Structure 1
Amino acid sequence: MASPFPSPTVAWYMARMFLVRTFGIMAAVSLVLLVLSVLGESGHILAQPANGEAQVWRYAGLRAPQIISFFLPFSVLGGTVLTLITMNQNSEIIALKGAGLSAHQVLAPLLVASVGVAALSFAFNDRIVSRATATLNQWQAVDYGPLPIDRGDRTNVWVRDGDDLIEVDQLRGRGDAAQLGNVTDYDRDGGRLISLITAPHGVREGRGWRIFPARRFDVASGKVALYPALHIADGVRPAQFMVTTVDADGLSLRALRATIKNLSDAGRPTKALEGASWHKLSGPLSAVLMPLLGAVAAFGIARSGKLFVRAVAAMGLGFAYFVADNFALAMGSLGAYPPFLAAWAPFLLFFLIGEAVLIRSEE
């Protein structure tokens, strides 16, 4: 049975060349972008009287993971094109083809290495970039001042309970210790308002909430009834009250999916967040596409004088993917595309384009 790879020596040689160039490009460009970002923000950071050099370094530490995450797919594309151009110029591709290897076998070491890069990218984004992004966004929201302690307090929170809508003016505390202030329960049936229940206080009771002292206005009769306490919102969890604005980039995949569930249970729109959730998987996998899209730079005789044109075409295909990916995400956020399609359609489309280029090169 024929091996899908070249010899182990050739496979390791190609994978090592690809990885060195990829991470070399990433390190060089990321360093330049980080310096520019620090220079651009240092004035705002130092405008706070208590800030100094330590805060500038802190900003650099929080910004660096974002820059690395953003530029890593472009680095994979550049590393692919440089590797294949070098091998083409040295007639190494011709030698491999002359030895009977197919285009897929020639690219196999790069594809396997790119899978490793994609796995590393996902772990890096999920564990490091999300935390750095959340912290930096909070810091920038207070103009690089001292970060406030989040004790779980929220204001003007809305939650859906079946047909009912529940409005809470103020929420204090977390979990089962959460306390509601100025609660309004819009009791509805099929979209028709049945009654209006209000209370100044609310606490967790069993699977629902006890509000007290309660005042119930019956819409049909126009009568008002007073109660020492009422039990409402059976099945509404405290976490559903906690979610207000959500920054998908500042959450790990697991945390984002839990937040989406809470928002969905609270009756809030989640399509844009669902697209972002799927993109946390499809985004890192873009590294696997780059060897396929860059393959146009590998095949063809270097002495034909079209090597530069092939390299530009390979880079153009790669950048076209990123444009299509951002466009699909934007359409998904607007609701024009389903979330799954918005995240995965560009990947599948350009995977087919890359395969078509590879098959064409075989002919």
Structure 2
Amino acid sequence: MSELALLQMRRLTLSTTLSLYISRQFCIWFFGLFFSLIFIILLVSIIDLIDRLSAQSETPLSVVVEMALYRLPFFAQEILPFTILGAGMLTFWKLTRTNELVVARAAGVSAWQFLLPAIGVSLIIGIAAVGLLNPVAAVLLKEFDKLEGEHIKNRTSQLSVSQSGLWLRQPEADGQTVIHAQRASETGMVLNEVTFYLFQGEDQFVQRIDARSARLDEGAWRVRDAYVSQPGMPARAEAEMDLPTTLTSEKILDSFSPPETISFWHLPGFIELLERAGFRANRHLLQFHKLLSLPVLLSAMVLLSASFSLRPQRSGKVGIILLTGVVTGFVLYFLTNFVFALGLSGKIPVLLAAWSPAGISLMIGTSLLLHLEDG
């Protein structure tokens, strides 16, 4: 074997060893910071729920802890960008302080090369968060919403969208009304091809009303072109009739499953059902693309962390530089929420709102690193 081939093999072995070392250091800082933040969030969540449930003297502490645990995976998913940013800054700061990266760069390893292991780990974490953590968080957050509706919000109306259309349960003083519609307006104010099933008590059927449309006015459904059927009586036609209700358009829209309670794998199908039923699916579409962009966002956080922590230690401004990185992370968080709000309101396209945080973070991190490495 030639000398050149041996030299290339040695460089490859060194590169692999260095990559594994940086990956291990990054993982240690990531999981240490991640579980520390999770523990703090759990304590704060329990305290918050105890305060919110203080008026419910009958609610046991076990329910409070259960609700906090149900919500924990969702928070774990939300703090991933900050955890990656913090883990990257601590990893590269330590390697720079101990001059390990100085030696690596003297051996001809560029900043882009020793960033690849951390970027690879962040991509794996992002993919695992989207494909594995998100489905678990969605299921548990749905359980949390049920307990919250039962113990805090006293929510009773339920709405679901399926292949057969829209289903809504409307509670009454002495029973309930189940409403089915083929389509609805975007605001939920008008239902088309609608059927009302009226029950007294738990399950005693009273009557059925089939109508061409039903409009939600204040305190009543205004039903048009209806046919009323009752047990033991012939069906009769009604050109217009009013059915009392306590529902409002806000209550109907709030009854939809929040996008955070739907698994990443089920979001495309649910979005299709919503659009088929006549509702806007902007919130769910934004959530789907937000999850798609998460691995890219986490990789951008690695670039940002490196740009703030790879500077020479002799500059005497290490604390200021690290603090600047932390402040930058929080600024990006608030800007992300602002952009998402613009997307939901229709001011900018949903896809642009969902991918902007990842794209902007990636461009800022790359620009800062180019300035640091080649400037």
CA spacing shift, 1:171–1:283, aligned 2, 3 Å: farther
CA spacing shift, 1:320–1:40, aligned 2, 3 Å: closer
1:154 to 159, 169, 183: 169
Contact 1:294 1:318 in 2 (8 A): no
CA spacing shift, 1:5–1:181, aligned 2, 3 Å: farther
Q: What TM-score do you get using the length of structure 1 for normalisation?
A: 0.75
CA spacing shift, 1:336–1:168, aligned 2, 3 Å: farther
Q: Deviations over 1:37-75 (max 9, x none)?
A: 212323555765664343233223213212322222211
Rounded Cα–Cα distance in structure 1 between residues aligned with 2:50 and 2:354 = 35
Which residue number in structure 1 is paired with residue 194 of structure 2? 167
Q: Deviations over 1:78-102 (max 9, x none)?
A: 1010011111111122112111112
1:267 to 256, 275, 278: 278
Rounded Cα–Cα distance in structure 1 between residues aligned with 2:367 and 2:135 = 36
CA spacing shift, 1:11–1:181, aligned 2, 3 Å: farther
Which residue number in structure 2 is paired with residue 140 of structure 1? 148
Asked whether 1:57 is paired with 2:71, we answer: no
Rounded Cα–Cα distance in structure 1 between residues aligned with 2:305 and 2:110 = 16
Rounded Cα–Cα distance in structure 2 between residues aligned with 1:257 and 1:67 = 23
After TM superposition, give the deviation of residue 247 of structure 1 in Å: 0.8
Rounded Cα–Cα distance in structure 1 between residues aligned with 2:326 and 2:125 = 19
1:118 to 126, 130, 155: 126
Amino acid at match of 1:165: N
Name the count of aligned residue pairs.
319
CA spacing shift, 1:81–1:273, aligned 2, 3 Å: same
Rounded Cα–Cα distance in structure 2 between residues aligned with 1:128 and 1:282 = 19
Rounded Cα–Cα distance in structure 2 between residues aligned with 1:116 and 1:62 = 24
After TM superposition, give the deviation of residue 336 of structure 1 in Å: 0.9
Rounded Cα–Cα distance in structure 1 between residues aligned with 2:334 and 2:297 = 12
Asked whether 1:15 is paired with 2:30, we answer: no
Q: Deviations over 1:203-232 (max 9, x none)?
A: xxxxxxxxx9474869xxxxxxxxxxxxxx
Which residue number in structure 1 is paired with residue 362 of structure 2? 351
Rounded Cα–Cα distance in structure 2 between residues aligned with 1:161 and 1:41 = 35
Asked whether 1:81 is paired with 2:89, we answer: yes
Structure 2 gap segments, 5+ residues each:
1-7, 161-166, 171-178, 200-206, 215-223, 241-251
CA spacing shift, 1:317–1:42, aligned 2, 3 Å: closer
Rounded Cα–Cα distance in structure 1 between residues aligned with 2:356 and 2:18 = 34
Matched position secondary structure for 1:252? coil
Which residue number in structure 2 is paired with residue 199 of structure 1? 227
Matched position secondary structure for 2:225? strand
Matched position secondary structure for 2:228? strand
Contact 2:77 2:134 in 1 (8 A): no
Rounded Cα–Cα distance in structure 2 between residues aligned with 1:217 and 1:300 = 77
1:255-294 aligned within 5 A: 255-294=266-305
Contact 2:139 2:261 in 1 (8 A): yes
Matched position secondary structure for 2:212? strand
Which residue number in structure 2 is paired with residue 301 of structure 1? 312
Rounded Cα–Cα distance in structure 1 between residues aligned with 2:338 and 2:135 = 26
Asked whether 1:36 is paired with 2:64, we answer: no
1:182 to 206, 209, 212: 209
Matched position secondary structure for 2:151? coil
Structure 1 gap segments, 5+ residues each:
173-179, 188-195, 203-211, 219-240
Q: What TM-score do you get using the length of structure 2 for normalisation?
A: 0.73
Q: Deviations over 1:134-162 (max 9, x none)?
A: 11111111116999998976345554389
Contact 2:74 2:134 in 1 (8 A): no
After TM superposition, give the deviation of residue 335 of structure 1 in Å: 1.0
Contact 1:296 1:310 in 2 (8 A): no
Matched position secondary structure for 2:79? helix
Q: Deviations over 1:249-269 (max 9, x none)?
A: 111123332222112111112
Matched position secondary structure for 2:311? coil
Identity of aligned residues (%): 22
Rounded Cα–Cα distance in structure 2 between residues aligned with 1:284 and 1:171 = 49
Rounded Cα–Cα distance in structure 1 between residues aligned with 2:346 and 2:62 = 43
Alignment RMSD, CA only?
A: 3.8
Rounded Cα–Cα distance in structure 1 between residues aligned with 2:149 and 2:343 = 27
Which residue number in structure 1 is paired with residue 244 of structure 2? none
After TM superposition, give the deviation of residue 315 of structure 1 in Å: 2.5
Q: Deviations over 1:304-348 (max 9, x none)?
A: 112223222332333333222211111111111211111002211
Contact 1:5 1:109 in 2 (8 A): no
CA spacing shift, 1:361–1:302, aligned 2, 3 Å: same
Which of 277-286 and 131-140 deviates more?
A: 277-286
Matched position secondary structure for 2:339? helix
